[in-house]
Structure 1
Amino acid sequence: MTTVAAVSANFTRDLEQNYALIGALVDEARDRGVELLVLPEAAIGGYLSSLGNHGDTVRTTTRSLPPAVRLDGPEIARVQALAGDVVVAIGFCEQGEDDDTRYNAAALLDGGQVYGSYRKVHQPLGEHMSYAAGGSYGVFDTPVGRVGLQICYDKAFPEAARSMALDGAEVVASLSAWPAARTATAADLQEDRWTYRFNLLDAARALDNQVFWVASNQSGTFGSLRYVGNAKVVDPGGAVLATTGLGAGMAVADIDVAGTFAAMRGGMFHLRDRRPDAYDVDRTWDPAASVRGAGRQEVLAGA
């Protein structure tokens, strides 16, 4: 058995507050026997303060942007010192190879090694004004098995998780700063439509690929964003094993990778039963075709 945990917590621009919180969460995880701890997107320095057409940009913002750090810099080394023997997935703003480029990134590490890192590929609602996009997904061998990384909006794209599953991922760490809807927000955030989508996508991606899914998220508020929490651990059948709900906390679950895979993949095994020959994977989205298709549907509906 392997004990894994997903965190819901609030991280801001205050780095010392961030490190203190990371240290407290790692200590709690260690006390609870956790071997893989998934912290949220932007746990070092916080996320953007707004999104959409009025989102932050590197050159024009009057707000503070997350500090950009390098993978081999002192900030990540400090997290490693806190992690010790716990494998930690953590989100941060990565300084690119030049001083002008930033990436929304995540690293997988413990006290002795950085096992891998990832730069967010899919960007929502103006995030491109602050970050460059990554271009690939990786799966990394760790003491807790083969772990894939993705960030927030990535979970809306089945191809992202599928590529990691095909690369042998047993666990996908999905780090988020996922907010509530910007308009017509529900009075009870647990009933908000963006909370619903967050939870639905976590279960769907786990079930699609029959992998364990460990989903963290920010909680509370930052700038104009109000986060929905709901960090969770999902099994390969799409069942939620543990969740934090809306509040801050740690969702902890014991998972048996080999035993669960044997049981759930022993019959219908989605990766084995794929038919790539039937998929037009090279087709790109054609907006004009979408409009024509909508017109055809209207004609059929009128008939």
Structure 2
Amino acid sequence: MSTLRLAAVAAEFGRDLEQDFLIVEKLVERARSAGVQLLALPEACLGGYLLGLDGSAADDPGPPALELDGPEVRRLAALAGNMTVVAGYCERAGDRKFNSAVCVSGDGVLGNHRKVHQPLSENASYDSGDSFHAFDTPAGRLGMLICYDKAFPEAARALALDGAEIGVCVSAWPGSRTNAAADLAQDRWKRRFDLFDRARALENQVLWLSANQAGTFGSLRFVGSAKVVDPGGEVLADTGVQGGVAVADVDVDRALEAARRHMGHLRDRRPDAYLAGAGLS
């Protein structure tokens, strides 16, 4: 694989689906003009996230529910064209709704992930997914997580064991609800967000794209901090807490080989020594 240009977005999205698509279109065109081949947009970028996670937004109808084979996802794929694009949305499947991420190109849907781990009261709005898997794309073999999923090492490890070379985590990760820092850059939940990104890349020795909502929505103040992380856990590009696009050029094969040459974390695993009951084997 030759050098790949990757980008992760921090941006603000709301309930107006048409306005969201206008934002997505501008971001995609900007990325295309810059030669980006893989673009990660935030969780819930099509229709916005929840207004709160503490039960205070119980009357919130939530984002519009879209079908995986519906016109909105086809519209996203058409916008992607020759790029590979990951975006978060509310997925309708029969009478159930999931917090999902879809990966598309101009050829259509390449992969779909339903958020497995649900923080606080999110389960009042969404059903939970139940699996993690990697899949092939023009940008390489990819695995997707959504927000709180990345707090669980087993989730990213499952993707790596399924051959993922690149992990893409899309988020609507807010700042702390208690003892909130006046300077969002010093917020303790932002520090956790950044730590999880670097740890998941390093422990699995994969490239890592982290997209996130920015700005505010309802009672939530998002930490932004979209980034690209190399397989050694080093941040190659970062938007900070403001909106923006983090872009990095990476020779994927060389980066993976260099990270895994001497200490291969996947190669050197000892499943026989782990507690099977803990789900680590």
Aligned partners of 1:231 and 1:244 also within 8 Å = yes
Q: Name the structure with the higher strand share.
A: 2
1:64 positional shift: 3.2
Question: Does the aligned pair in 2 maintain the 1:120–1:151 contact within 8 Å?
Answer: yes
Task: Label 1:274 to 1:55 Cα distance change in 2 as closer, same or farther (>3 A).
Answer: farther
1:94 maps to a residue whose letter is E
**1:81 alignment partner, one of 67, 70, 78:** 78
Residue aligned with 1:250, SS: strand
Partner of 2:195: 200
Distance in 2 separating the partners of 1:261 and 1:171? 10
Matches within 5 A, 1:38-187: 38-52=40-54, 54=55, 56=57, 61-96=58-93, 98-99=94-95, 101-187=96-182
User: What are the Cα deviations for residues 160-181 of structure 1, in whole angstroms up to 9, with x where unaligned?
Assistant: 0000001110000100000000
Q: Contact conserved, 1:209 with 1:270, CA < 8 A, in 2?
A: yes
Deviation at 1:185, TM superposition (A): 0.4
SS in 1 for 2:276: coil
State the AA in 2 paired with 1:44: L
Secondary structure at the residue paired with 2:119?
coil
Task: Look up the equivalent residue of 1:47 and give its one-letter code.
Answer: Y
CA shift for structure 1 position 62? 2.2
Match of 1:10 in 2: 12
Indicate conservation of the 8 Å contact 1:212/1:233, yes or no.
yes
The one of 219, 224, 230 equivalent to 1:229 is 224
- The one-letter amino acid of 1:27's match is E
Distance across 2 between alignment mates of 1:233 and 1:160:
19
Rounded to whole Å, the distance in 2 between the matches of 1:62 and 1:279 is 45
SS of equivalent to 1:229? coil
The equivalences for 1:274-289 within 5 A come to: 274-283=269-278
> Which ranges of 4 or more aligned residues in structure 1 deviate by more than 4 Å?
none
Q: Distance in 1 between matches of 2:260 and 2:131?
A: 27
Structure-2-length-normalised TM-score: 0.97
Q: Is the 8 A contact 1:55 1:126 kept in 2?
A: no
Hey, what's the Cα distance between the residues in 2 that align with 1:82 and 1:116? 16
Root mean square deviation of aligned Cα: 1.0
Structure ID, larger Rg: 1
What secondary structure does 2:237 align onto? strand
Q: Which residue number in structure 2 is paired with residue 35 of structure 1?
A: 37
1:21 maps to: 23
Instruction: List alignment gaps of at least 5 residues for structure 1.
Output: 285-303
The TM-score normalised by the length of structure 1 is: 0.90
